[in-house]
Chains A and B, each alone.
Chain A
């Protein structure tokens, strides 16, 4: 057994968990005959399945992640992903990373080996922002690669079609995956502090448009609030934590929040 995480699935292992009455369809070989001898009833012994956690870190490297003032969202996400990978690796859990924009760019399968961490860090370090985001497509593609249930951590600004993203995340959740979403945003994206009219350029599509910030600030902020609130509400319905972190949030706070939530899962 390796890894600190207890598997939530009960199966074959050496650590006894509990008894339960035999139900038709259970394998007869799992009946505890000693208990039967004592109680004349059929019970089945249950064991904690002690397996390595297979964690996938989905790292959004789309063009929008390049946005940021002092530190870009990509840089912030890099540190966050590296920290998560390190923590999981230190817990002897298998951790892999997937960088994506509109499709998967890099894929490091989960492994608890030390060398895997180096590969992951290498991938993170070499990640460069570019391309459009399509989280739903990426999650669909990932579904093909993850046969076993695991922990999927999405680090992204989620600047995509919210409905399709939520639908894709929910489908993962229905397949018993644990999900954790870090929505990385820059404060300026929220407060929109620009004053003068300017030509705004979309980092993903290179589209340009003249924007009069003062005229639309209030409306923009309202849309942004609705956007964040939508993710939180939609994901909370399927018991998925969505942690919105701004690039000025210290990493330890973000990670503590993550760890605190994971404690509940143990």
Chain B
């Protein structure tokens, strides 16, 4: 038996108080002269035994109450070895202790991080002060570590701050570079044990390290997982819609309000999200509101993951240059009314005649071949900001064209079936076809002739097994010219909207403008075609950041919002011992039992006093 607060054991001396009071009370009993005790003796005789017994019982119960009250304050722990199921850390053990303190963003739930710090301190104090210690924040960078004394370790725990980043236990363990330990190594992890923290951690990775996980229980949480445009390629003139995906990580229904703030305008929407489900909230915004914050109101959540920073590039009206005669294309894209149509279309017969400056979309229609100069001009054009090309391949394209499109597709031959082939697969998840999902109009579109392409980009649609549309970056290759001799698509209702979306999609690749804190971003790739270079790795706090006239929203990792921990079984499979309370370090906590005995003694005493 050990006591976590042994100083309270001094209070057990107060057991003498009820005994003293008992006898003092007897001495202080009022003396009443009475004529004869004969009748009193007659009446008391039957009860006297019980009353004496009751007096003794009451005295004993009072003593028990005081005794067990102070015992409960002293927090007794039963330390019999056969009773202990939880891992034990014997007191004053000499060891080399590495304590990994979870400072990932999820630890910001409630006062979890403070509790983790306290737990870490308690764990450290449990070892011998002569031990050597090392405190490793879970999200800390890889750097050489050194052993320190107890006081140094306590200061390191105190200095550790909550991060907005996510972290990996495996990474943290791999990053530990430290001198050889003087004593037996002890690994301790103090944190909420999110699944993401244990991700990639295997028993093999742990090898012979014995890791004890002191669990800080997480809570419920609902957070915004993503904010996206409802229709990212549609060309809008006044309003557009964005959609916030709210993920409920808790086990109960979340009911609340989503609020979007942008350009000093506020939009709200009520929502209810089932446990462990997500729900989408759609906001309709004016075009000028292209960046802001979406937040959901919830007291029982992390603070920042339910406040999401977004910045969206809304498609703008653009100029289209069609090279090659195709009335169907021209009519589909030409404005009926200059005010309502998103494209400003010009048609030329020869690329040499066209001025590619100020153009947004270049459509090569049935251009049989490209000269070296044309190729250079087109590549220069595509390097510019907000530009793209849509290429409808001619039948049997020439070598210049084949060379030019080689980056996206290789022409293997021509497909000319005796009858026709039909469009039988589209990438419904792509922005181009997203709006046509479940649309019957996509079915049965006939193709009589097309090129057999080897896709080197993302295939958006197939005719039979042949790729029809291949997209990569800001170039889209269509395997055939849209003329009635090749396909009946030109007569279909979806032709115009499909063309619009294809033309838009090549210009607005819409890179995900929302990043996570500390994300390692390949700046060249991400910022291609936009402007400048962002160094997002240096950003440590969520928020809206402006770089070179663009706005980006930086958020915490959405996975950090999921506060669920891995279960004990999974931890056991990894060989991780789970410690749920500090008191369990010493053994079975008898505090509640002592308190219950004290309360029982009090209740029985009261009952005895009432029961006369």
* Interface residues of A, Cβ cutoff 8 Å to B: 64-67, 73, 157, 159, 186, 189, 194, 196-205, 207-212, 214-216, 219-220, 223-224, 227
Contact = CB atoms under 8 A, between A and B. Distances in A.
A186 B35 contact: yes
Contact of A204 (B36, B40, B42, B51): B36
A159 B35 contact: yes
B30 A198 contact: yes
A205 B38 CA distance: 11
Q: Which of B29, B34, B41, B44 has the most CB of A within 10 A?
A: B34
Given A212-B612, A214-B612, A215-B51, A67 B34 contact: yes
A189 B29 contact: no
Q: Which of B35, B43, B47, B51 has the most CB of A within 10 A?
A: B35
Interface of A is mostly: mixed
A189 B35 contact: yes
A212 B51 contact: yes
B42 A223 contact: yes
Contact of B31 (A65, A66, A189, A198): A198
B26 interface: yes
30 contacts: A66-B33, A73-B35, A159-B36, A186-B35, A196-B30, A198-B32, A199-B30, A199-B32, A200-B31, A200-B32, A200-B34, A200-B40, A202-B35, A202-B36, A203-B34, A209-B37, A209-B41, A210-B26, A211-B40, A211-B44, A212-B612, A215-B47, A215-B612, A216-B40, A216-B43, A216-B47, A220-B39, A223-B39, A223-B42, A227-B39
A211 B612 CA distance: 12
Given A202-B37, A220-B39, 12 more contacts: A66-B33, A199-B32, A200-B32, A200-B40, A202-B36, A209-B37, A214-B612, A215-B51, A216-B40, A216-B43, A216-B44, A216-B47
Nearest to A210: B29
B37 A200 contact: yes
A200 B40 CA distance: 9
Nearest to A223: B39
Contacts of B612: 212, 214-215
Given A159-B36, A212-B51, A201 B43 contact: no
Q: How large is the interface on B (under 10, 10 to 19, 20 to 34, 35 or more residues)?
A: 20 to 34
A212 B32 CA distance: 12
A244 to B, nearest CB: 14
Contacts of A208: 31
Contacts of B31: 198-201, 208
A209 B44 contact: yes
A93 B32 CA distance: 42
Contact of B33 (A196, A203, A209, A224): A203
Top 9 A-B pairs ranked by shortest CB distance? A67-B35, A64-B35, A219-B43, A199-B29, A216-B43, A202-B37, A198-B30, A159-B36, A215-B612
Contacts of A199: 29-32
A219 B42 CA distance: 9
Contact of A201 (B34, B47, B51): B34
Contacts of A205: 37
A197 B34 contact: no
B35 A157 contact: yes
A196 B31 CA distance: 11
Contacts of B29: 197-199, 210
Contacts of A186: 35
Contacts of A159: 35-36, 38
B32 A224 contact: no
Contacts of A223: 39, 42-43
Contacts of A212: 51, 612
Nearest to B38: A159
Contacts of B40: 200, 209, 211, 216, 220
Nearest to B50: A215
Q: Which of B40, B42, B51 has the most CB of A within 10 A?
A: B40
Contacts of B51: 212, 215
A188 to B, nearest CB: 9
Nearest to A219: B43
A214 B37 CA distance: 16
Interface in B22-70: 26, 29-44, 47, 51
A203 B35 contact: yes
Contacts of A64: 35-36
A207 B33 CA distance: 10
A224 B34 CA distance: 14
Nearest to B28: A199
Given A199-B29, A199-B31, A224 B39 contact: yes
B38 to A, nearest CB: 7
